Amino acid sequence: MLNKTKIAEGGRKLRKNWGSSWVVLAGNSLVFYKVPPASIPTGWGPAGSRPESSVDLRGAALAHGKHLSSRPNVLHVRTVPGHEFLLQSDDETEFRAWHRALRDVINRLERENPLELRLSGSGPAELEELSQGEEDEEPEPKPLLGFRGGSRRISCRGPEEPNRVRNKLKKLIAKRPPLQSLQERGLLRDQVFGCHLESLCKREGSTVPNFFRLCIDTVDKRGLDVDGIYRVSGNLAIIQKLRFLVDRGRRNRKGRLDLDSAEWDDIHVVTGALKLFLRELPQPLVPPSLLPPLREALALPESSQRLSRVQELIGSMPKPNQDTLRCLLEHLCRVIAHADKNRMTPHNLGIVFGPTLLRPEQETSDPAAHVFYPGQLVQLLLNDFTSLFPNP
């Protein structure tokens, strides 16, 4: 159990909102569970629980968080997509153990694939010395410019020195190859998970992301009759492996990703990857600015007024958000048509997808904003899908 707060999402700063989480370091990822006070964790997480979120540590940076919080024993983790969060423990021994474990994983990932990490802009992990007497010595920080092991260093002895350094940095930046040439040479690939929806769709020349549509087609083909589809969690390690392959643009000999292969035989891995894709969007599928008016629309007494207002608000969303939401809801309606076998009703799917599709911009202490209201709205969208989306 650690105290955790997210302080940035996609590079956008967030207000600190501390809470307790059961944290698991599994492979290349940190996994967070929300544990009720009475729960006793067994194995990876509490019995019968699902991960609240996960963080990919590839290219991550690790540092002491003492400058970001007045609490003792704080670690600051920054990921490649620009997400930042703080982990804190009142037990200094436990804090040091987490620091060493995270440092070792991040260093190992950098050694395994240093080129991609550097090109993604993250660089080596920032490992900050925690105290003078720690048993594991931290590496000394490298100079900003100069030769390793040499005597050349930057010094600010005169007022003209900062300008000279700034000019050198400008020249260095100007010599960088353009992003497009790195992508054409295959040295830098744009990620799919954690990418802004409009940017991803523009890159792929579509209004619904290819991987998202592929997941839906796969579930339509072999998952509609599976009991608890979308409610049952898949193997997190295999989901992260699939995410890694998608982000790296791996394809089979026919030039496409095949989710029907034996490697992805568990359909819950495919549904888990689809839900992870939605959770990792820097901005939720339904823009946070629409949440207050949608909530007001849900409270309207007349059904016709309610539907008309919801339809108007959905129509104001960007085209990729509209089409991706429509694609998802249309698919979930097919899931509901098999509810006699999979037991997934509009109410159950609202509970699963509500908090993901309608994420508030900032965390709030109001439970209805996280569970009750989003689930109700998704249920409305599913029950009245043909009225809200009349055109085929």
Which residue(s) pair with 13 in the sheet?
Answer: 8
Between the alpha carbon of residue 276 and those of residues 100, 217, 321, the distances in Å are 28, 17, 16
Mean pLDDT of the chain, nearest integer: 79
The answer as to whether 282 is a domain residue is yes
The answer as to whether 182 is a domain residue is no
pLDDT band for position 16 (50/70/90)? confident
Last residue of a domain, one of 85, 119, 153: 119
The answer as to whether 168 is a domain residue is no
List pLDDT tens digits, range 318-329: 999 999 999 999
The answer as to whether 176 is a domain residue is no
CATH number at residue 326: 1.10.555.10
296 with 203, same domain? yes
pLDDT over 70 percentage in the chain: 74
213 with 115, same domain? no
Where in the sequence is the domain holding 263, given as residue range(s)? 197-388
List pLDDT tens digits, range 43-59: 555 555 667 788 888 88
Q: Is 354 exposed, middle or buried, given 0-12, 13-18 or 19+ CB atoms closer than 10 A?
A: buried
C-alpha of 79 from chain center? 10
List pLDDT tens digits, range 253-270: 455 688 888 889 999 999
280 with 375, same domain? yes
CA quadruple 217, 222, 228, 231: dihedral sign = negative
Between the alpha carbon of residue 226 and those of residues 267, 333, 352, the distances in Å are 8, 15, 16
pLDDT over 70 (residue 182): no
Question: pLDDT higher for 189 or 210?
Answer: 210
Highest mean pLDDT among 52-61, 145-154, 167-176, 177-186: 52-61
Q: pLDDT value at position 208?
A: 96
CA quadruple 253, 254, 257, 259: dihedral sign = negative
Question: pLDDT higher for 337 or 179?
Answer: 337
Question: pLDDT higher for 169 or 220?
Answer: 220
Lowest mean pLDDT among 135-144, 235-244, 291-300: 135-144
The answer as to whether 83 is a domain residue is yes
Which H/E stretch holds residue 111? helix 92-112
How many whole angstroms separate alpha carbon 122 and alpha carbon 78?
9
**Mean predicted confidence (pLDDT) in 207-214:** 95
209 with 71, same domain? no
267 with 370, same domain? yes
pLDDT band for position 279 (50/70/90)? very high
pLDDT over 60 (residue 140): no
How many whole angstroms separate alpha carbon 374 and alpha carbon 288?
12
Last residue of a domain, one of 101, 119, 137: 119
The answer as to whether 110 is a domain residue is yes
CATH number at residue 63: 2.30.29.30
Contact 154, 144 (CB under 8 A): yes
How many whole angstroms separate alpha carbon 129 and alpha carbon 51?
31
The answer as to whether 150 is a domain residue is no
245 with 331, same domain? yes
Using a cut of 0.75, tell me whether the model's pTM lies above it: no
The answer as to whether 111 is a domain residue is yes
List pLDDT tens digits, range 296-352: 998 898 999 999 999 999 999 999 999 999 999 999 999 999 999 999 999 999 999
List pLDDT tens digits, range 89-128: 988 888 889 999 998 888 888 777 654 444 344 444 444 4
**Mean predicted confidence (pLDDT) in 156-183:** 66
How many whole angstroms separate alpha carbon 339 and alpha carbon 385?
17
Last residue of a domain, one of 94, 119, 144: 119
What is the count of structural domains for the chain?
A: 2
- Token representation of residue 362: 């900032």
pLDDT band for position 143 (50/70/90)? very low
pLDDT band for position 154 (50/70/90)? very low
pLDDT over 50 (residue 63): yes
Q: pLDDT value at position 272?
A: 95
